[in-house]
């Protein structure tokens, strides 16, 4: 799959339960629209959405399952339960939180990944990371690619964005690892997507800027409001 998506756009088709577009029928059509627009792969959340997309659109899928646990802040494919569900539904690449935070049950990433590599030796894995150090560790643990997905969302990186300071974070990750780097996180314009590829990203994932009209509308609304308020 990684060879197939090189230099391309992956579209994240997700809508959580509290969002207007939630539902596998809507997500499969969103994925179809993304394919027609030129997407080379889809990132999708949850077995129902993934199954519907697989039946409707012939594109590689990066699969995740977002599920919250009381004893951990890790929520992207955080336990063996989610991994088993993704393996069974059959995704090309499984993405999971690869930050240095403890997973549910107090399990660290190294122990978890070692278990996964033994159980599913043929499965391909993407590491959703927040820091350069986490990307380096993920490569050492055997991940097939690393993503900048969590940058800006963990305690140490809260509020930071992939494109801050001319994409310095992305550049540092590209220099630090030998596995493919997937740029993901607040890539909100076509120009930004093209730029991360110029800076060495293997592929770019864009989600909310394409598939979440509520977020898109809010950006327009906030910009217009700033004019009226004199900001």
Render 127-153 in DSSP notation, one character per residue. Answer: EE-SSHHHHHHHHHHT-SEEE-TTTTT
Helices (H), 40-102: 47-56, 80-89
Cβ contact 66:46 at 8 Å = yes
Low-confidence ranges of the chain (pLDDT < 70): 230-231
Q: What range does the domain containing 82 cover?
A: 2-228
Looking at residue 227, its pLDDT comes to 87
Rounded CA-CA distance 211/65 in Å is: 18
Looking at residue 230, its pLDDT comes to 63
CATH of the domain at 66: 3.20.20.70
C-alpha separations of 74 from 7, 64, 84, 130 in Å: 29, 12, 17, 12
Instruction: Point out which residues pair with 125 in neighbouring strands.
Output: 94
Number of domains the chain is built from: 1
Looking at residue 164, its pLDDT comes to 87
Looking at residue 226, its pLDDT comes to 87
Looking at residue 231, its pLDDT comes to 57
């Amino acid at each position: 799959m990684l060879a197939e998506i090189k230099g391309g756009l992956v579209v994240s088709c997700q809508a959580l339960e509290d969002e207007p577009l939630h539902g596998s029928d809507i997500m499969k059509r969103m994925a179809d629209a993304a394919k027609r627009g030129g997407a080379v792969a889809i990132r999708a959340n949850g077995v129902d959405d993934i199954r519907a997309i697989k039946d409707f659109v012939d594109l590689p899928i990066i699969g995740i399952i977002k599920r919250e646990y009381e004893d951990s802040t890790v929520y992207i494919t955080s336990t063996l339960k989610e991994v088993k569900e993704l393996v069974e539904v059959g995704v090309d690449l499984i993405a999971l939180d690869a930050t240095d935070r403890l997973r549910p049950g107090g399990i660290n990433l190294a122990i978890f990944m070692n278990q996964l590599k033994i159980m599913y030796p043929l499965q391909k894995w993407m590491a959703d990371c927040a820091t350069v150090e986490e990307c380096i560790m993920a490569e050492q643990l055997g991940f097939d690619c690393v993503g900048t997905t969590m940058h800006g969302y963990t305690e140490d990186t809260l509020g930071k964005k992939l494109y801050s300071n001319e994409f310095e974070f992305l550049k540092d990750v590209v220099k630090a690892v030998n596995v493919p780097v997937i740029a993901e996180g607040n890539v909100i314009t076509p120009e930004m997507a093209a730029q991360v590829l110029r800076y060495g990203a293997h592929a770019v994932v864009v989600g909310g800027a394409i598939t979440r009209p509520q977020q898109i509308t809010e950006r327009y609304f906030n910009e217009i409001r700033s004019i009226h308020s004199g900001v």
